Amino acid sequence: MPGADAARQPVIRISGLHKSFGPLEVLRGVDLTAHAGDVIALIGSSGSGKSTLLRCANLLEDSQEGEIVFEGEPVRWTGTGHRRRPADAEQIRRIRTNLSMVFQQFNLWSHLTILQNVMEAPVTVLGQPRAEVEARARGYLEKVGIADKADAWPAQLSGGQQQRAAIARALCMEPRALLFDEPTSALDPELEQEVVRVIRALAAEGRTMILVTHDMRMARDLSSHTIFLHQGRIEEQGPPAALFGAPKSGRLQQFLSHLTLA
């Protein structure tokens, strides 16, 4: 049945991905598949390629080799190697609107209120009716616990509140998947927990998410699949219970050795 096939089709599939910055090879043939409802955590040392992989998935970075397929539709490329670029601007716009990114540094527009920040992309990029978007935006601000901050400016919010606003902005695009790039690393521990609670609630809803994080407890507790990257390659991957409870790779054992995960 077509419906069953669609249910099995990954939201995003990446295979054999290579990415270099000049002579520096950052990704060396990485594969990743996320089905609807998957929460995939990318972990590894600084410089292992985690954030670069996320940015390549969202086509914010051009890769030199490999395939990226969004809901069964391969990204079309022109050129090869360092001259490889996406060939279809409309396809890229469509994919990016369906893979909403939440960045480490919030990236809110300082000259817009929180409500305006959340509404901006659906209104200006997708051309959706303002009244419809406003109702949806207020609902998402309620979901992340800052409905009372709708008319505030970003500078008036704490870091945790700004990151929750950024999550509401991503949700307002109603994407097929959410991509989180170190969403809590710029926050102190108390504010970090505000954001973790929101991400935990989204995971419980069955949202499809790919999460780059330094927070091993969050990776262990929230992910359905964990990928450990080392020097641009997947060193080990699998269910979080296996990776955190009985890591096979010596490098992963070393990476986890200093952690205390209650």
Instruction: Give pTM, 2 decimals.
Output: 0.93
Task: Determine how many CB atoms are found less than 10 A away from the CB of residue 43.
Answer: 29
For residue 238, give Cα distances in angstroms to 42, 192, 242, 244: 11, 26, 7, 10
Nearest to 250 by CA among 262, 236, 231: 236
For residue 12, tell me if it sits in a domain.
yes
For residue 99, tell me if it sits in a domain.
yes
- pLDDT band at 260; cut points 50, 70, 90: low
Q: Name the more confident of 26 and 5.
A: 26
pLDDT of residue 4 exceeding 50: no
Exposure string for 104-141, b = 16+ CB within 10 A, e = fewer: bebebeeeebbbbbbbbbbbeeeebeeeebbebbbebb
For residue 66, tell me if it sits in a domain.
yes
Query: Partners of 34 in the beta sheet?
Result: 12
For residue 133, tell me if it sits in a domain.
yes
For residue 108, tell me if it sits in a domain.
yes
Rounded mean pLDDT, 139-148: 97
Tell me what pLDDT residue 169 has: 97
Task: Determine how many CB atoms are found less than 10 A away from the CB of residue 96.
Answer: 18
- pLDDT band at 135; cut points 50, 70, 90: very high
pLDDT of residue 3 exceeding 70: no
Rounded mean pLDDT, 67-77: 97
**32-46 pLDDT, tens digit each:** 999 999 999 999 999
pLDDT of residue 160 exceeding 70: yes
Tell me what pLDDT residue 1 has: 39
pLDDT of residue 6 exceeding 80: no
Query: Cα–Cα distance between 209 and 252 in angstroms, integer?
Result: 23
Q: Provide the mean pLDDT of the chain.
A: 94
For residue 232, tell me if it sits in a domain.
yes
Q: 63 and 30 in contact (C-beta within 8 Å)?
A: no
- pLDDT band at 86; cut points 50, 70, 90: very high
For residue 151, tell me if it sits in a domain.
yes
Which CATH number characterizes residue 65's domain?
Answer: 3.40.50.300
pLDDT of residue 197 exceeding 90: yes
Looking at the chain, the whole-number percentage of residues with pLDDT higher than 70 is 96
Structural domain that includes position 28: 2-256
For residue 262, tell me if it sits in a domain.
no
- pLDDT band at 105; cut points 50, 70, 90: confident
**210-250 pLDDT, tens digit each:** 999 999 999 999 999 999 999 999 999 999 999 999 999 99
Tell me what pLDDT residue 59 has: 95
Domain count, the chain: 1
